[in-house]
Amino acid sequence: MRKFFQEIKTELKFKTAGPGQKLSEPSRVPKEKPKAGTAPKPRQGPTDEAQMAAAAAMARLELKPKAKVTSSQEAIRNQVRKELMAEAAASERGLTEEEKDQTSPEDEGAAAPSVSGVYFICPLTGAVVRKDKKEKHLREAIQAYFSIDPVAASIMEIHTFNKDREKVRAGVETMAKYLDNICLHPEEEKYRKIKLQNKVFQERINCLEGTHRFFQAIGFETKTLPVPGQGKKIQAMEEEYYVLREDVLTRLEDLKGYKEQLLNSEPVRAQLDRQLCVFKPSPEAARFELPNDFYNLTAEEIKREQRLRTEAVEKASMLRTKAMREKEEQREMRKYNYTLLRVRFPDGYILQGTFYARESLSALFSFVREALRDDWLPFELLGPGGLKLTDENLAFNECGLVPSALLTLAWDTAVMADIQASREEQPASTLKPELLSRVQTLS
């Protein structure tokens, strides 16, 4: 950043004249007059190669971000001075580079984000954690659950931290088969032993996180046993096995229960925190400032987007079908994992919440109903441009409501007229009192 400031200051130094000085004008070279009697050469049109080069140059100019025009050189100096002071203050506080980037001092005129990020609620602890801390917190919560129920905790590990669902299915079914054999033939010793170097065990079970802790939790012990058929050789080969403890055979019903639990469990998923907010009526309702958490772009995807931008001019000149345009629009919508939605009520109050971009509209309707004093009141939601949202099965990204949107709530006129006629005293708002008690001002 300092290097950038130095470049600005150096440029100002050469472009700005000192006191009492005038800016020197560039020297003009007089054009050579054509000799008398010489006919001027006819002008030739640009060649095809020149036209192509000119078009490419224009395309590059269109793609370049336009420079912001400053009002004066003094304004530039003031801005540089402010940013230098802010950087020095951040350095004194010991902030990291990442924290400096997230800092937006008010004196710089940067708008505060509409939300500070995307947050999740851990189903095991109830804690609200930021998106980038979610996986770490879940792992710690499951680890802590081993002290309460080791079998359940190991099953959580298997289903939650192994992302390949097909491998999880194959491994779980194989483990269930081991337990089935024990329950059906408890007197058979061979079913109570599992060779760890067995090919099926290695390919389907050993590769999954949490499986070894599951076997240990339900009563298996690791033992080194001689390979059958070695006789009394001096150096008989040995292999590792899981061997079920004898006392577990008296609790076969528990073993059946563990098998069912293993087969029917689902991954532990943190729930998206809606971050419900209620704002006073504001003309800034349609203005959104979103943090990076809302964008679903990896480093590779960012490079791809840059490449797509360079092709924008060429695409604009192509005759595209409606299907092609819709496909491109859908690709644009997939850039976002989340969307920030605001619903403006007829009295001006604004309800805000965070949703998955691929959630259906029914989630938004439920979100609004839960915020109402009377959740049975019929209402309609109008999207940008006044378009009525009728199909609750459509996803937000299919409706163009990502990464943010302001919607309008409209009551059923006849129903509201009947309610007003039947009530002597009308409530201040249709929102729940507990929500109105923490209403905020939209900045």
- DSSP states of 3-44 as a string? HHHHHHHHHHHHHS--TT--PPPPPPPPPPPPPTTPPPPPPP
Q: What pLDDT score was predicted for residue 94?
A: 47
Length of the chain: 443
Nearest to 217 by CA among 254, 186, 180, 181: 254
Cβ–Cβ < 8 Å for 118, 129: no
DSSP SS3 for 128: strand
331: alpha, beta or left? (left if phi > 0; alpha if psi -120 to 50): alpha
User: In the CATH hierarchy, which fold is given to the domain comprising 333-441?
Assistant: Ubiquitin-like (UB roll) (3.10.20)
d(CA 277, CA 196): 54
Residues of each domain in the chain carrying CATH 1.20.58.2190: 119-271
pLDDT for 314 beyond 80: no
d(CA 433, CA 165): 45
Report residue 72's pLDDT band, with 50, 70 and 90 as the boundaries. very low
Q: What pLDDT score was predicted for residue 67?
A: 43
pLDDT for 325 beyond 90: no
User: pLDDT above 70 covers what percent of the chain?
Assistant: 63
Cβ–Cβ < 8 Å for 103, 353: no
d(CA 263, CA 268): 14
N-terminal to C-terminal alpha carbon distance within the chain:
28
Q: What pLDDT score was predicted for residue 305?
A: 56
Q: What is the pLDDT of residues 11-39, one digit of tens each?
A: 544 444 444 444 444 444 444 554 555 55
Beta strands in 269-403 (DSSP E): 271-272, 277-279, 338-344, 350-356, 379-382
What pTM did the predictor assign?
A: 0.65
CA 24 to chain centre: 54
Q: What is the pLDDT of residues 359-368, one digit of tens each?
A: 999 999 999 9
Cβ–Cβ < 8 Å for 329, 152: no
Give the range among 51-65, 256-270, 309-323 with minimum mean pLDDT.
51-65
d(CA 345, CA 323): 36
Q: What pLDDT score was predicted for residue 165?
A: 94
Q: How many CB atoms lie within 10 A of CB 254?
A: 13
pLDDT for 391 beyond 90: yes
Q: What pLDDT score was predicted for residue 13?
A: 46
- In whole angstroms, how far apart are CA 332 and each of 308, 328, 341? 11, 6, 18
Q: Which two tokens stand for residue 24?
A: 């020197």
- In whole angstroms, how far apart are CA 24 and each of 74, 253, 306? 20, 97, 41
Q: What pLDDT score was predicted for residue 342?
A: 97
Cα angle value 267/270/274 (rounded, 5°): 145
With b for 16 or more beta-carbon neighbours within 10 A and e for fewer, the 136-156 pattern comes to: ebbeebbeebbeeeebbbbbb
Range 259-281 average pLDDT: 96
Q: What is the pLDDT of residues 127-160, one digit of tens each?
A: 999 999 999 999 999 999 999 999 999 999 999 9
> What residues form DSSP beta bridges with 244?
220
Backbone angles phi, psi at 207, to 5 degrees: -80, -5
Q: What pLDDT score was predicted for residue 320?
A: 56
Residues of each domain in the chain carrying CATH 3.10.20.90: 333-441
CATH code linked to domain 119-271: 1.20.58.2190
